[in-house]
Amino acid sequence: MSRQLKPRIADFLADQPHGAPVWQIAEALGSSNDTTVQALRRMAERGEAVLVCDFALLPHTVWTMPPHSTPKIFRAMETLQAMQSAARRA
């Protein structure tokens, strides 16, 4: 369940530069607040999401993407370019 939810959350947060509260994320994705919070906490453990503003009421906590999060495809290209550069110097 949350494995399918995580990429959808990441896509949603990528369009929210200042973050979004749990209730807004859950509503946009058709998920419950509890399931969304669980997925966000797992994502935070992996550095895939950041808790911006914590409230006593979980649906109002605000989450965002980590700063300087680069899509995996671009990191792959950066790695390839670094390896090619190192090979040229060798």
From first to last of the 90 residues of the chain, give the pLDDT tens digit: 455 899 999 989 888 888 899 999 999 999 999 999 999 999 999 888 888 877 665 666 787 777 765 555 666 777 788 888 888 887
Overall pTM surpassing 0.75 (yes/no): no
Distances from the Cα of 66 to the Cα of 14, 32, 46, 52, 85, angstroms: 10, 23, 10, 10, 28
Neighbours of 49 (CB within 10 A): 24
pLDDT at 68: 64
How many structural domains does the chain have?
Answer: 1
pLDDT of residue 39: 93
Q: Which backbone phi and psi does 71 adopt, to 5 degrees? A: -55, 145
Give burial (CB, 10 Å; 0-12/13-18/19+) of 3: exposed
Q: In what order do the strands lie in the sheet with 20-21?
A: 20-21, 62-64, 50-53
Residue 62 domain boundaries: 2-89
CATH number where 64 lies: 1.10.10.10
